Amino acid sequence: MPISCPNFAVQSLHLRSSSFTTTAREINFTPRDFGISPPIFRTNLRPNSVNYSSRCNCSQTIFSAEAARDYDDQLKFESERYSDELEVAVKAVHMACLLCQRVQESLIAKGDDHVQSKDDDSPVTIADWSVQATVSWVLSDAFGSANVSIVAEEDVQELSKTDSIGILNSVVKTVNQCLAEAPRFGLKSPPNPLSTSDVLEAISRCNSIGGPTGRFWVLDPVDGTLGFVRGDQYAIALALIEDGEPVLGVLGCPNYPMKTELLSYHQRVLSTQPSANWDKGCVIYARKGSGGAWMQPLLRKEEKKFVWPNSASEIKVSTIDNPALATFCEPVEKANSSHSFTAGLAHSVGVRNQPLRVYSMVKYAAIARGDAEIFMKFARAGYKEKIWDHAAGVVIIEEAGGVVTDAGGHHLCFSKGMYLEGLDRGIIASSGSTLHNKIIRAVDASWNSSSL
């Protein structure tokens, strides 16, 4: 029988031993009594091992002294679990956002000189490799390279080619410029500028293939590269997975404004309408089981120091559950998502708003903070979803109060390597169960007539 502790109140605390029983006065616990700040406090905890008797309703609980200590210890353990990793991850992604802003401004000014194509014809810029090297170095410095395993999108093969020497030099310069700012975020800079071999080593350390056991990081250095090179939406996505489950996620969205009213839509594609004093960009993050997701503005140039976590504000999914009022997101590119099928699903469940097409995992950010209610993606046959395209977003939406599953209603599986193996048809993310269940039923009803 679970212990009930509404509002962390213990009406009667009985300290028992073989020789005496002491009834303590009423004690009211709050997160701060445990030295815990609200953004990372878990509210749904129960003792691991308790010795208690319960003869009360939900407003009264009797603890033994041992049970009280166990409960206290678990509260502290859960509140601190992954807190160091989350702090370093947020700071690393924040630094990467500023790096990307500088590179994007330079890229747009120079044209396509610093853009290459990978084997799958997707464009890659110096930002991809620079972010990967930077995040790899920061994580390794904070936790020790022997303790850090990273699954990431980029490798050093393209960058190591003789005709890539110009881009490689730019990457080395960009990485060192970024790491020089680490003290602004309470992190250490390298004692000496990284050499070319140091940068290549940092990138190549991201060679994990994931799996069902152990701990590894998942990084997409620039998710939505097409959006990046076009000056539009993109994201830096970093997640920590332990024993196959994402336990924290961070999304850096350099072109996604803090204020929803600054969003604009050009040909149904989400973009930003800059204003004279807009807060350009944000970092959104969550830790599994913490009961909340949080958003911070990007550090302005005039600000000397990053403050953690006082500048964060909590975000929540939308409360809209009427499909007629809901907005749904889908990828911009048609190559790996069927717009016609998602349009049919939206119509069948009663969604009347035009679809909002968004580059990158900014779609997850939009749902987590209530700018949209639904994200649907149904890839064409043969396409395999990568874990780095979803891991961070899943944690954030779920902690913000939303739901993410495949089209069969199953949790996404991150334990099979670099791909979401066993995915049932497609991916659905919603602000709540009402909309989610309607979409799943619509998929079941129409799937046989689809061409997917």
Tens digit of each residue's pLDDT, the chain (452 residues): 443 343 333 333 333 333 333 333 333 444 334 343 444 333 333 333 333 233 333 344 445 677 766 655 554 555 578 999 999 999 999 999 999 999 988 876 666 556 766 666 566 788 999 999 999 999 999 999 999 999 998 888 888 887 888 889 999 999 999 999 999 999 999 999 999 999 999 999 999 999 999 999 999 999 998 888 888 889 999 999 999 999 999 999 998 888 776 666 555 555 555 554 556 799 999 999 988 999 999 988 778 788 877 789 999 999 999 999 998 888 777 666 777 888 888 888 888 887 777 888 999 999 999 999 999 888 887 889 999 999 999 999 999 999 999 999 999 999 999 999 989 989 999 999 999 999 999 999 888 777 65
Distance CA 87, CA 94 (A): 11
Q: What is the pLDDT of residue 351?
A: 86
120 carries a ligand binding annotation: no
CA 117 to chain centre: 27
Distance CA 216, CA 411 (A): 19
Q: Which of 61, 134, 174, 225 is catalytic?
A: 225
Q: What is the pLDDT of residue 219?
A: 98
The upper half-sphere exposure of residue 107, i.e. CA atoms within 13 Å in the direction of its Cβ, equals: 27
Sheet containing strand 235-242, edge to edge, reads: 150-152, 215-223, 235-242, 245-253, 282-287, 293-297, 313-315
> Do the Cβ atoms of 9 and 33 come closer than 8 Å?
no
Choose among 237, 160, 273, 243: nearest CA to 396. 237
Distance CA 273, CA 278 (A): 9
Give 412's DSSP letter.
P
CA 377 to chain centre: 18
26 carries a ligand binding annotation: no
Six-digit token string for 71 = 């409960």
371 carries a ligand binding annotation: no
Q: What is the pLDDT of residue 318?
A: 96
Q: What is the pLDDT of residue 237?
A: 98
> In the annotation, is 406 catalytic?
no
153 carries a ligand binding annotation: yes
> In the annotation, is 128 catalytic?
yes
* Complete domains list, the chain, with CATH: 6-80 (no CATH), 323-449 (3.40.190.80)
What is the amino acid identity at position 371?
D
DSSP assignment of 217-264 equals EEEEEEE-HHHHHTTS--EEEEEEEETTEEEEEEEEETTS-SSGGGEE
Q: Which of 61, 70, 128, 406 is catalytic?
A: 128
